[in-house]
Amino acid sequence: MLPPNRMKLLNSGNHKTIKGEKIGWRTYGLHLAPHTLAGRNVCAHASAGCAAACLNTAGRGIMHSVQEARIKKTKWFFEDRLAFTLQLIKEIKSRKKSAIKNNLTPCFRLNLTSDLPWENLSVMLPFPFLQFYDYTKDKKRMLRYLNGELPPNYYLTYSRSEETRDEEIHDLCNKGGNVAIVFRDHLPSEWQGIKVIDGDINDLRFLDEYSKIVGLKAKGLAKKDETGFVLEPC
């Protein structure tokens, strides 16, 4: 499959990721069509609550043209993985130059609306001095990260769902990991004895303290969640 004409894989300016520019970082992210929207599952570990509360339609995502573009990108990823990866690497190089030109440090989040194991595609290998980061609901992948089995420039935060047991959260935090939890209305100062940090200040998770809960306030469709995906602050 040939790439769609002039399609860009990476974008910046997401309403949350742009907050990092205040402290010198520019995030470039990749939006794919989440879950099974494009006929292929890019969120294999998504729960019902996560799928229902997905921010895919937030911001510019509400536009039909944007949704079409994300579906095309996803289909291209599955139908011509090599060409997609080469284009992605090419864009990482160009975005790096652009950020530096604007006196900003580039960083990359490739799973803005997906949960794919990019470490298996050697995307980070050509860029050992660039920072990559993502959220994931894949516990085995998170454990590999905590065991030092992922590229050292790839930072992961585990994302809780209604299917996550409290014991799993404590276990990951005890191992030095951070766990993101979505709360309704406001963020508590702690969750079951673990400090909660405000994950809405910016998206730069790799700058967070270790062994913490990353608190996120429910947004969009998540405000109406009744699955347990969103927790009530205590």
Q: What are the pLDDT digits (tens) for 31-51?
A: 998 888 788 999 999 888 888
Structural domain count, the chain: 1
List of residues 6+ apart from 194 with CB closer than 8 A:
169, 170, 173, 211, 212, 213
Least confident piece of the model among 5-9, 20-24, 228-232: 5-9
Beta pairing class for 194-198 and 190-191:
antiparallel
For the cut 70, the answer to whether the pLDDT of residue 63 exceeds it is no
Query: Rounded distance, CA 60 to CA 25, Å?
Result: 22
User: pLDDT of 87-128, one tens digit each?
Assistant: 999 999 999 999 999 999 999 999 999 999 999 998 999 999
Q: Which segments of 52-162 are extended strands (E)? A: 105-109, 131-136, 154-159
Is a pLDDT exceeding 50 seen at residue 61? Answer: no
pLDDT of 162 strictly over 80: yes
Residue range 60-68: mean pLDDT, rounded: 64
Rounded mean pLDDT of 24-35? 93
pLDDT computed for residue 6 by the predictor: 65
User: What domain range is 140 assigned to?
Assistant: 10-231
SS3 content of the chain, % helix, strand, coil (to 5): 35, 20, 45
Residue 104's contacts (CB-CB under 8 Å, 6 or more residues apart) are 21, 24, 25, 26
pLDDT score, position 51: 81
Inside any domain, residue 148: yes
Q: Is the pLDDT of residue 142 over 90?
A: yes
Q: For residue 3, is it within any domain?
A: no
Residue 226 lies in a domain: yes
Q: Considering the domain boundaries, does residue 5 fall inside one? A: no
The answer to whether position 89 is within a domain reads: yes
Q: Which amino acid is at 127?
A: F
What rounded mean pLDDT belongs to the chain? 91
pLDDT > 70? residue 3: no
Residue 2 domain-assigned?
A: no
Residue 79: its pLDDT value, please?
A: 94
Confirm whether 4 is domain-assigned: no
Task: Identify each DSSP E strand in the chain by its residue range.
Answer: 10-11, 25-30, 105-109, 131-136, 154-159, 179-183, 190-191, 194-198, 213-217, 230-231
Q: Is the pLDDT of residue 4 over 70?
A: no
Q: pTM, whole model, 2 decimals? A: 0.93
The reply to whether 94 falls in a domain is yes
